[in-house]
Amino acid sequence: MYALDGGAMEEDGRVGIFTKEDTHGSRSSSMTYAWRWKRQNGLQILGVALFVVAVVTMVLLGLYAQAEKHIVLIVDGKEQAVSTHKGSLQELLDEHSLSLKPQDDVSMALGASVQDGDRIAITTAVPVTLTIDEKSEKRFTTEKTVAAALASWDVELGQFDKISVPVSSPVQNGGAVNITTAVPVTVSVDGKSKQAYTAEKTVAAALEGWEIPFSAHDKISVPLSAAVEADSKIAITTAIPINLTVGGESQKTLTTERTVEGALSAMDIELGEHDKVYPGATAPLTENADVSVYRINKFTADQEVKVPYKTIEKEDSSLLKGKTKTVQAGVEGVVVHKVEKVYQDGEFVTKYVVDKKVKTEKQDEIIAVGTKEPVVEKTFAPAAAAKPSAKAASAKSSSSAKGFEYKTVLTGVAATAYSSEQPGIGTRTATGTTVAEGRTIAVDPNVIPLGWWVYIEGYGYRKAEDTGSAIKGKKIDMYYDSLGAALNFGRKSGLTIYVIGPNKP
């Protein structure tokens, strides 16, 4: 039983009953003992602890010193010696603040353990802008040359592809490599085709790359400035020189056409209705070919041609023999010829009669020839009468009832006809005159002098103006404008010709 008297609690003599003072005194004595023990042994404990720490530290320092590794780092060819206690390459790089890109090249794996004396090579990748057919992207490479870099990127460079830098050149940090892949093109030169490849952008650059010469006179199927497209076709026709003569004026020129007609059209040379071209318009052209254009002009004019009358002799029994009488006077006819004159390149070439109209009809001369025998009466002439002189008789014999004097008479003369329309026959005579129907005849100068007038029975007056290789002796060749008329004339024989002289009666 506890008693509260305001003081400490005391034991009342009963078992298990303690006063409060007694309990407190027991705990205080235990604490006091512990405290005394700590004070007496604390220094010894601290000394032991410090000793243990020192031993451990020395052991660890020894082990640390034994674990140090000497490594040689070779970064982009530059060597650097480093020391480390790290176990792996990644830890070593982190220790030295070295960061790598995924594209960098390292001689050992980042997680591999490093050993003392290791030589670790690191090649840092450099950025390069790679453009293929105008599509660009950033690439990294540790290769030294462009060729090796392309190989590492699995970029194949074709034989005809175009690259902006030589493949043997070194890779530049931050550099650019531009590649244009070649495309196939069908090239035709003067009809001969082949397949070629080019990486050029324009036709002009492609031709230069193929070493195909192209001049301003050549023709091409596409503009030189046109873009080159894959599987496109380029056709070239080279210009060739030709010798061109137009209207008598010659020049050497170039053309890409391969026919005469095409060349003239390309040069804007128009042909007139009558113009002639040699060779023909469809003839093929070759180098240095001769091409001639003849300007043909035709003009028509009216020309009056006299038609000589014929002299017809009729026997008249009422007239004394040897006497003649003009029954009907002869009148020359007049025919108007429409003549077409042809000029080539301004020079007269020939002329043709394209139409004839009779202006005046001819009227033949009719002569009455006496056949009456005279009655002879005998008379006696005076003795003083003199015989006519030979000269007077000769003069009288060269006269004719035809009304003109002549030098001689040719009988049994053969005659043919010719025309300027015959091939090889011109319009200029041997005496320098121009042939004229109804006037010109060809003669043998040894029989009829050139330039003399003659009278041909049945045909009238003609002038000996021309000669011919087949005209020999008593033979003449009469001129006609029309070849048909000359052929119709045929051959005449037994003609009588009066050779008059240089002047027409």
Asked whether residue 115 falls in the same domain as residue 152, the answer is: no
41, 65, 89 - which closes a domain:
65
Q: Would you state the pLDDT for residue 387?
A: 40
Structural domain contains residue 221: yes
374, 407, 430 - which closes a domain:
374
Indicate if the pLDDT at residue 497 is higher than 60.
yes
Q: Tokens for 225?
A: 């400035």
pLDDT tens-digit series, residues 48-57: 888 888 887 7
pLDDT tens-digit series, residues 456-475: 999 999 999 999 888 999 99
- Residue 5 pLDDT class (50, 70, 90 cuts): very low
Residue type, 396: K
pLDDT average, residue stretch 175-181: 94
The rounded percent of the chain whose pLDDT value lies above 90 is: 50
Q: Would you state the pLDDT for residue 341?
A: 85
Residues 6+ apart with CB under 8 A from 471: 442, 443, 444, 477
- Residue 402 pLDDT class (50, 70, 90 cuts): low
Structural domain contains residue 6: no
Structural domain contains residue 380: no
Structural domain contains residue 443: yes
Q: Exposure string (b/e) for 408-447, b if CB count within 10 Å is 16 or more?
A: eebeebebbbbbbbeeeeebebeeeeebbbbbbbbbbeeb
Q: Tokens for 391?
A: 């000269």
- Residue 33 pLDDT class (50, 70, 90 cuts): low
Residue 170 backbone phi and psi in degrees, to 5: -70, 150
Distance CA 200, CA 211 (A): 13
Check: CB of residue 452 under 8 Å from CB of residue 408: no
pLDDT average, residue stretch 356-360: 90
Of 135-144, 344-353, 410-419, the poorest mean pLDDT is in: 344-353
Asked whether residue 346 falls in the same domain as residue 449, the answer is: no
**Sheet with strand 232-237: strands edge to edge:** 192-198, 183-189, 232-237, 219-220
Asked whether residue 494 falls in the same domain as residue 400, the answer is: yes
Q: Would you state the pLDDT for residue 68?
A: 87
Asked whether residue 138 falls in the same domain as residue 195, the answer is: no
Of 76-85, 146-155, 343-352, the poorest mean pLDDT is in: 343-352
Q: Would you state the pLDDT for residue 392?
A: 38
Indicate if the pLDDT at residue 19 is higher than 70.
no
Asked whether residue 232 falls in the same domain as residue 326, the answer is: no
Asked whether residue 258 falls in the same domain as residue 154, the answer is: no
- Residue 181 pLDDT class (50, 70, 90 cuts): very high
Average pLDDT, the chain: 84
pLDDT average, residue stretch 347-374: 86
CA-CA-CA-CA dihedral for 17, 20, 24, 25, to nearest 10: -70
Asked whether residue 290 falls in the same domain as residue 300, the answer is: no
Q: Tokens for 190?
A: 């003067």
pLDDT tens-digit series, residues 296-322: 998 888 888 888 999 999 888 888 887
Check: CB of residue 307 under 8 Å from CB of residue 335: yes
Asked whether residue 173 falls in the same domain as residue 247, the answer is: no
Q: 125: exposed, middle or buried (C-beta count within 10 Å: 0-12, 13-18, 19+)?
A: buried
Distance CA 125, CA 134 (A): 24
- Residue 502 pLDDT class (50, 70, 90 cuts): very high
The rounded percent of the chain whose pLDDT value lies above 70 is: 84
Q: Would you state the pLDDT for residue 47?
A: 78
Structural domain contains residue 165: yes
- Residue 21 pLDDT class (50, 70, 90 cuts): very low
Asked whether residue 191 falls in the same domain as residue 264, the answer is: no
Indicate if the pLDDT at residue 197 is higher than 80.
yes
Distance CA 225, CA 214 (A): 13
Distance CA 168, CA 436 (A): 93
Distance CA 471, CA 157 (A): 91
Indicate if the pLDDT at residue 4 is higher than 60.
no
pLDDT higher for 41 or 181? 181
Q: Would you state the pLDDT for residue 484?
A: 87
Of 65-74, 170-179, 224-233, 270-279, the poorest mean pLDDT is in: 65-74
Q: Which residue range forms the structural domain that includes residue 322?
A: 296-374
Structural domain contains residue 8: no
Asked whether residue 220 falls in the same domain as residue 173, the answer is: no
How many domains is the chain partitioned into structurally?
A: 7
pLDDT average, residue stretch 265-278: 90
Asked whether residue 268 falls in the same domain as residue 361, the answer is: no
Q: Would you state the pLDDT for residue 52?
A: 84
Structural domain contains residue 5: no
pLDDT average, residue stretch 2-16: 37
Asked whether residue 59 falls in the same domain as residue 106, the answer is: no
Distance CA 105, CA 223 (A): 51
- Residue 426 pLDDT class (50, 70, 90 cuts): confident
**What is the CATH classification number for the domain harbouring 227?**
3.10.20.90
Indicate if the pLDDT at residue 110 is higher than 80.
yes
Distance CA 108, CA 117 (A): 14
Q: Would you state the pLDDT for residue 374?
A: 65
250, 276, 294 - which closes a domain:
294
pLDDT tens-digit series, residues 283-299: 999 999 999 999 999 88
pTM over 0.95: no
